[in-house]
Chains A and B, each alone.
Chain A
């Protein structure tokens, strides 16, 4: 993995800037401190994990589509995973448990989160606020180099005796407290250690982002001139900062239960399994917002630019981000309605959960308002951003179903939940990641991604994605439980076999389609059309510097005079006004932009 990564990086830079040749190779590509290189490192590693997670999902889908049938090509896997039979290898239930667990864990912690936070956080924050780098570049490097061993431990756990963790990505106690219940001993412990290390990596990343945004903004970059991508990453960093330590504490207690034999979560010695659920979800719900807020920020950026209109309600967008960040802390109980909690408490969690729909809806309507009567450019980033908005609406609505306690009795722990979380995480976060990668690709590599290929990839992904995940709502409503190895063991679920096969076939199509993206990605790095500084005619600061930007980013410190979304402004001859454009002298036509204050902060001083 890392060699290809380096080759690519060097190939890309060969045609790029030469003013930093004094940095030794190893400091530039391996132990890099430049935020842009760290962003790329996160990108390559987490795209790799995205592939791994996809492969795990493919295996699960095979088992669900063709329960108990030999899996083609699975003979190469060890007997502990696939039982050999004369007709071929059949998946073992224990291995299915590991697949469910590791798919969820890898996708959430090693793919989506590092793509959103590690890639876009590193790439965008310094560039969009006009900083030369992060506040603590070496801490930034440490953040990446902690994530790598965490990922390796996670992968290695497949190879240890007993296999990889099998108690679900939520690792509920008491199932997870002892190998007696799952058959997984060391794997479960490696899972805990790996996530603890990764948590530390995210934590120091968050410290860095927060300090950077507060302290390193260029002159004139007031809080309400910060682009929404950076705003969302800032709020996300705060959530990471406060949520990860709770997870770390819980992980460590569970690790103690497993290794030295404490009894925190073990009912047989007087412990409290429910405490695990509370700790996990007190972290877990903020975590799902960690996974969606940056996606919202990226979408806002792309939508406004590709619609050539100021984002509708910039201030309310920021306030909605902040209030989602706040409300996210008081809703964790909605994952525990069926745990036997007091119904009164359940009701209050129901109400607080539904309250989050308000800022979410504000954002959604603002996106629609941005599109209203706009000159929409349907290019690849925009298509992905538009599907973010529509898929997020579906996922948000199914969320409301589950948030109502009486309804949740029926759909809790069924495929309805699986449908919901994929609508928000794949339909939401991953589409936004596609939007973001295609949109900022020219900034990272100096070349555009191929447009026709990107469109084919988008259309196929969008169709297959919906064919795979929409029917899962139906499966759930008919009672098919999630995390089940062989649902045909229940007579009442046997009629769902055709539907499951349908889903499996399109899941394979969906996975295969991603090869188009992989191909486009690597091809465009070398052969894509050369991009100038500002291929999207964008206003934000990252587009005022060369693509890719040199070490240190800005040749001279930029001064910011206006908000980030002044598109189609009458003040401009072109249809955009970079944030660095000084206001016109004397009385001009009112620009009608949300942030007209012309004075850079502190100019009076």
Chain B
């Protein structure tokens, strides 16, 4: 048996700081949230294949592929921002954060534009007014898919877009704090958890893009 030392033993538990652990735990619930949405989509699509269009018929795949590329780039700039502050490079941190913000905002902007284009072709979430036609088809052509297509599309991509928007908002806050010198190489938790969230949102998009646009 060991004798009991008077020294205080270190805290039990994992050696991950609270914020980071909290973010990981929170992201688990986000995984479940998107699982619920994606799962519903998959079930509905299996149950009603006729209510969904073929890839590229209604949705503009090239445009969104480009947008996907933009979002992936924003993950890269986020990594750069974190790498900068690890070196205590304040200027680099701010520069890359700004780049991430701009790319994120651009993504949301393109998505909004895409929505208006789609809506003008009758691809809307409202069941009663859904009358989507193929891209470039003449007014009054055959309606493609059914109301479930519009509803699932806008719900899934819309919630993702909301996540990106919240992320952009938080990034602005991170940038604001960075400009005030809140982060250092020894104190970079805020940047790290921001990055975790951002990469998660990016990852979800890659899944969504594949499932909604490509399959």
Contacts and interface: CB of A to CB of B under 8 A. Distances in A.
Contacts of B32: 241-243, 245-246
B29 A603 contact: no
A252 B146 CA distance: 20
Interface residues of B, number: 47
Given A256-B125, A256-B151, A207 B14 contact: no
Interface of A: 135-136, 139, 203-204, 206-208, 210-211, 214-222, 241-246, 248-250, 252-253, 256, 260-264, 266, 269-272, 275, 278-279, 557, 559, 561, 582-583, 585, 598-605
Interface in B124-160: 125-129, 146-148, 150-152, 154-155
Interface of B: 1-5, 7-14, 16-18, 21-22, 25-26, 28-30, 32-33, 35-37, 40, 43-44, 47-48, 51, 125-129, 146-148, 150-152, 154-155
A206 B22 CA distance: 10
Nearest to B28: A241
Contacts of B51: 270
B125 A217 contact: no
A272 B2 contact: no
B42 to A, nearest CB: 11
Nearest to B5: A603
A216 B13 contact: yes
A260 B9 CA distance: 58
B1 A215 contact: no
B9 A600 contact: yes
Contact of B10 (A241, A248, A598, A602): A602
B25 to A, nearest CB: 5
Contact of A269 (B9, B40, B128, B155): B128
Nearest to A247: B36
A415 B7 CA distance: 61
Chain A, interface SS category? loop
A139 to B, nearest CB: 8
B127 A262 contact: yes
A262 B151 contact: yes
Contacts of A139: 22
A278 B9 CA distance: 48
Contacts of A605: 9-10
Contacts of B36: 245-246, 248-250, 279
Given A219-B12, A272-B47, A605-B10, A264 B21 contact: no
B22 A222 contact: no
B1 A207 contact: no
A238 to B, nearest CB: 9
Contacts of A266: 127
Contact of A244 (B2, B29, B151): B29
A128 B9 CA distance: 18
B44 A275 contact: yes
B28 A603 contact: no
26 contacts: A135-B18, A139-B22, A206-B25, A207-B29, A216-B18, A219-B11, A220-B12, A243-B32, A248-B33, A249-B33, A250-B36, A261-B129, A262-B126, A262-B155, A263-B148, A264-B40, A264-B155, A269-B127, A270-B48, A270-B51, A272-B44, A278-B43, A279-B40, A557-B8, A583-B1, A603-B9
Contacts of A203: 26, 29
Contact of B25 (A210, A218, A261, A559): A210
Contacts of A270: 48, 51, 127, 146-148
Contact of A221 (B8, B12, B14): B12
Contacts of B1: 583, 598-599
B155 A603 contact: no
A206 B152 CA distance: 29
Contacts of B155: 252-253, 256, 262, 264
Contacts of A241: 25, 28-29, 32
A215 B2 contact: no
A215 B25 CA distance: 12
Q: Choose among B14, B146, B148, B152 the residue with the greatest number of A CB atoms under 10 Å from its CB.
A: B148
Given A248-B33, A269-B128, A270-B51, A601 B21 contact: no
Nearest to A208: B22
